[in-house]
Structures are given as C-alpha cells and as structure tokens.
Amino acid sequence: MSAIQNIVMPKWGLAMQEGLVAAWHVPVDAVLEAGQDLLDIETSKIANVYESPVSGHLRRIVVAAGETVPVGALLGVCAPASVSDTEIDAHVKAFQDSFDWDGAKADTGPEPETAETTAGRLRFLRMGDGDGPSMLFLHGFGGDLNTWLFNQEVVAQSGRTIALDLPGHGGSTKDVGPGDLVTLAGAVMALMDHLSLPSAHLVGHSMGGATALLVALERPDRVASLTLLAPGGFGPAINMDYINGFIAEKRAKKLRAVLELLVADPTAITAEMVEEVIKVKRLDGVDAALKTLRDGLFPGGTQAIDLRDRLAALLCPVRVIWGRRDRILPASQADGVPASIRVTLLDAAGHMPHMESAATVNALLQEVMT
C-alpha cells in the first residue's frame, strides 16, 4: 500500500452528486489528525465540516475553496516527507486521468427499498457487505434514514448496514398505532424478520434510541449490541418546545429557530435543510402521525416510558453517546447509569452527535462492527 493517502469528496446522503469546497480549515503542509476539522463542504441540501478521514502530512490541496466537484473527486493528498513532490504530482495526475468525472455525477448509489411487513410498509436503505450481524440505524422524532448520511456509508465499509424509516416517518407507513414505543419497536422487529436477520447491532438516536433500548430489553436474543445517541427513555425530561415547535411551525423562518435547538452550532442548519423538513411535514399523514407519536411518547410533556431502571438487565454491549450541549434531552440523563454501560460525552455536540461529531461517532460504530 502506497504511503500516499487520498482525501476525496465524501457522499453525504442519497441525493448528493457533487459538493462545494467552501473553505479549508488548514493550510498546505499542515499535519493532520484523523477527526480534526479539515474543510467546509456545502451541497444543495447541507453544509457541514468535513473531518479529516486520515492522519498525516497534507502535501497537496487539489481543489481550492470555491470549487465544486463530484463525489469521489480528489480534494487533497497526504504523504510523508519521504515521498517526493514529483511522485505526488504523478499520483494526482494518475488519479485525475482515471477519475470518471461524468460517471461520478451519474452514480446515484444505493437506492432505498420498501417492503410490506407485518408492521406495514417500511422503507429502508442497505449498504455494505459482510458476514457479521448487520448494523441497524434508527432515527429520531421527525427524522428519517437520511439522518445517517455522515455515518452509514462510512460504517458500511466494515459490514452490512441498514437504515430504517420508523413508522410515521420518511417512506414508511404513516400508521403509528397508538404512537407508543411498542409500535416502533414492533416495526424494528418486523423489518428484522422480513430480512431474516437473527440479530443486529442497533444504533438509535433519541426516539430511535429508546426504541432500540426497548427491543434489546424485550428481545435480547435479537440484539448484538446497542449504541444509543442522545437516547430517549433515560429520564422524564424532554424539551417540548422542540417537539411542539417541530410539529406546529410550517414556515421556514420559525421552523429554523426550532431546528437550531438540535445543534450546538446553529449555522449548521441550512435553508435547504429547513425546506426539506417542511416538505416532509407536508406529506399526507405526517402531521397526524407526529401528533400521535407526541401524544403517545410524551403525554403531559414528559417521556412516558423511563427505562433507566431496566438498564442493568441489558446483556449485550451498550454504549451511550451524548452531546454535552444537547438542548432536547439533557446529557445529564447519562449520569449514574450502570458501570457496564460505556458513556461517551462529546463537548462540541448538541442533540445530533452523529452529524456534529460524525468522525468520532463513526469510529465508535466501526469499533462495534470489527
């Protein structure tokens, strides 16, 4: 394997075909640590910091700030000092000559599938291959499988992954029954049955975290591990201003203020993200489903089900990841959990650690898969 390491335009989400390099956080010749902020990338839907996928000496910046290139295009090159400039020039030229500029744009990647299951129609996205248990991603309230755009593709390099739209969300059935965790957990089991998965690594965010937790408690035989990101079910407190605002606000200006509660850095919420959420909320049945879930999960403004007392009963490996700047579910809910549960608190993250600190979360997820 060459000592030269490529940094390429990542693919964030199904629709991403190209990205704009908005700014480099480091100059040429910088020494990079994997996970450090490397550059800002903007797509038509999202803007985020891209954290360095590698550690090493940044020898070339191939795409300057302000340029837009396809997914997979070479952005920069790392190599130790022992590699000569001539070798690096040759490496870059070889990459550029062989890169399929048109094909990169045309490649839409894997498409979500839908299945009629015992829990109704469910949409899910499969990525990756391998022999071990699949990693099954469960999004939070109001999200969908695209929540994992910074994570699923990375983890899929280590094995099979599946991101699910929970009932009431994305392309899945809008029938959420009484809007309780049992219904959501039932949908997870239904998909696992449909795909003949004996067990899976469950990754759940927020409401999806509470769902994963309930599955693990009720069917420990089907859960290989749990990774819970800012999970529900860890205490009564929840910021209902967020939940109610998410449901009620139909217009960009006001909804943006609500969505900004999700993240530590409000500039991460782009106009396009707000517009995407509005578009989802307009779909027939979504409003009713969200209200039913709210009333079922958070009656009287607190979480209906507190699973803390049952955490000690969990048999599988469990990790909890929480952003210290979470304004939806307080990170203090991770305090005092049984010692068997590993807790990772992230200083820079709000309620969306898998997006705000994607590299760190991805490293922990890959650890689970290997």
- The residues that touch other proteins, with contacts defined as CB under 8 A, are 15, 171, 250-253, 271, 279, 282-284
Nearer to other proteins among residue 112 and residue 130 (C-beta): 112
Residue 54 beta carbon to other proteins: minimum distance, rounded to whole angstroms: 33
Nearer to other proteins by Cβ, of 34 and 271: the residue is 271
Which of 174, 294 has the CB closer to other proteins? 174
Min. distance of Cβ 139 from other proteins in angstroms?
Answer: 17
Buried b (16+ CB within 10 A) or exposed e, 326-357: bbbbbbebbeebeeebebbebeebbbbbbbbb
- Shortest Å, Cβ 282 to other proteins: 4
Query: Alpha carbon 117 to chain centroid distance?
Result: 24
Nearest distance from C-beta of residue 281 to other proteins, angstroms: 9
CB of 113 to other proteins, least distance (A): 14
Name the amino acid, one letter, at 60: R
Q: How far apart are CA 184 and CA 177, in angstroms?
A: 9
Nearest to other proteins of 68, 366 (CB atom): 68
Report the distance separating Cα 269 and Cα 262, nearest Å. Answer: 9
Closest to other proteins by CB, 1 vs 64, is 64
- The DSSP code sequence of 287-347 is HHHHHHHHHHHSGGGS-S---GGGGGG--S-EEEEEETT-SSS-GGGGTT--TTEEEEEET
Residue nearer to other proteins on the CB measure, 278 or 337: 278
Report the nearest approach of other proteins to the CB of residue 286 (Å): 8
Strand 18-24 to 113-117 pairing: unpaired
Cα–chain center distance at 326: 16
Query: Rounded distance, CA 99 to CA 97, Å?
Result: 6
Q: How far apart, in Å, are the Cα atoms of 220 and each of 213, 305, 317?
A: 10, 19, 11
